[in-house]
Amino acid sequence: MSWQRRLAAHAPAAVFLAEGARIGPLRETLALSPGIRLVDTPRHASVLLVAGDIPTGWRDDLRRVHDQLPAPFASVWCCCEPFEALHDPIRIDTLEALPQGVAETHRELMLGKRDSAPRLQPDEPPNPWEGLGDDGHGGEGMMGGTPYGRPMAMNMQDDLRDGLTLDTLTFRLGPFHSGLPPGLQAEISLQGDLVQAWTVTRKPFASVVEPIFHAARQAPVPIAELELSRARHHLRRLYRGLLVAGWPRLAERTLSLTGQLSPNSDITALRRSLERGGLWRLALPEPGRGVLDEAQVRELGGPAVRAAGIDEDLRSHDAHYRRLGFAPTCRDAGDTAARWRQWLDEIEQSLWLAGQAARHDLKTAETDAVETPRGPWTDAFPHDMSDLLGQVLPGLEWGEAMLTLASLDVSALDLHPLEEPWQRSTGDREGRA
């Protein structure tokens, strides 16, 4: 056995995660697991991890992702059915056993103890070009066609920024892109780095909140536990945003806080690191970018509405929250940077409330009306708002658009709780189907 194989076997497993529905914070769990390194493209992975409910109509997209991994590679399936074409597929029944199982699969691949997975797609270009066109290379005339299998950018229109006419590149992104909400797929048109059009072609999966928010609609629950859950949710959102911003070390540090939150926790050091590191000046869009109007933020709800200066929060109607001196914390700009700052403000507020409530052993006084991290849940509940992206993102540069998207929680709220602690066997799921 070569020394390169032995070195590769001891390296962290490079994993591309294809997230399905109702899988909980799996990405965050794996990111904190030793021996696992999540990557943003299947071309850098040795293991494809498919987890959660994958709609039947999305299997072709998953096959394309599967075949992009370089050999040797393997796919691991958790809480979903593997492709029939795979012989002896790797299935892991519980999320608890997943990190170790994925790491072992990677080691077996690198040591040659496991064969590489087979390709599932035909080995042919998606756009036939050989022998076609004026010169046999797929092109037509001076422009047009699919030269060498790549469509030319021809749909020229005035740039939204300065009126220049540039080639338009139209492509599809998702539904397994790590920078998008899980399940979201969009058709995007770019001119240079400017977003000309953004059309949602598949809605994101419903957003999952921790079970205590579901319990709070049935009976009083400890405010300290509820607020710690809220803080964890926002820290996970901030973690994903920092990854999009290109700040992986601070993202990992942010995520590590979720495993050690208590009523005595605070994020003063994290806020100081973000400010001293220049996040607001260097990474986030300048003030006034990604602004939502009042109608949009009221429909979106949650931190986005308070980042626009509207003090709507169902906790204000709870007598025991008022006893703690609760009042909504708000920004007023309503832009992308304000929503990022709102996360930090609300995390700090939740930790302060958790500390105060723990001292007095307070529970919620209201039921049937809960302010979730996603937004208010009464008779109505947060619904899908992904079509809003087509109104907000055009006119932004690509980096601004992705950071604006990261600041918006546009998925619907999942009304069904996951079992604690997000550990379900495949057999149990099939038995209840």
The most confident of 97-106, 127-136, 282-291, by mean pLDDT:
97-106
Among candidates 228, 227, 210, 283, which has minimal Cα distance to 250? 283
Close Cβ partners of 335 (under 8 Å, ≥ 6 residues apart):
285, 287, 288, 289, 290, 291
pLDDT class of 2 with cuts at 50, 70, 90? confident
* Span 355-403, pLDDT tens digits: 999 999 999 999 989 999 999 999 999 999 999 999 999 999 999 999 9
Q: How far apart are CA 217 and CA 198, in angstroms?
A: 36
Q: What is the DSSP letter of 363?
A: B
Residue-level pLDDT at 192 = 84
Q: Looking at residue 422, what is its pLDDT? A: 46
pLDDT surpasses 50 at 102: yes
Which pLDDT tens digit goes with each residue over 11-56?
Answer: 999 999 999 999 989 999 999 999 999 999 999 999 999 999 899 8
Distance CA 168, CA 197 (A): 10
Higher pLDDT, residue 160 or 424:
160
Residue 154 has pLDDT above 90, yes or no: no
Summarize pLDDT for 155-167 with one digit per residue, the tens.
666 667 767 777 7
pLDDT, one tens digit per residue, over 212-261 is 999 999 999 999 999 999 999 999 999 999 999 999 999 999 999 999 89
**Long-range contacts for 106-110 (Cβ within 8 Å, ≥24 apart)?**
106/9, 106/13, 106/14, 106/15, 106/46, 106/47, 106/74, 107/9, 107/10, 107/13, 109/46, 109/47, 109/72, 109/73, 109/74, 110/5, 110/8, 110/9, 110/11, 110/46, 110/72
Give me the mean pLDDT over the 315-340 stretch: 95
User: Residue 421: pLDDT above 60?
Assistant: no
Question: 98-112, 158-172, 294-308: which range is least confident on average?
Answer: 158-172
Mean pLDDT of the chain: 90
What is the pLDDT, as a whole number, of residue 1? Answer: 59
**Domain locations in the chain as residue ranges:** 7-110, 151-202, 211-406
pLDDT number for residue 155: 64
Q: What average pLDDT score do residues 198-219 get?
A: 95
Report percent pLDDT > 70 for the chain.
Answer: 94
Domain 7-110 has CATH 3.90.550.10: no
Residue range 183-199: mean pLDDT, rounded: 93
Q: Quick one: average pLDDT of 174-191?
A: 94
For the record, the structure tokens of 65 come out as 């992702």
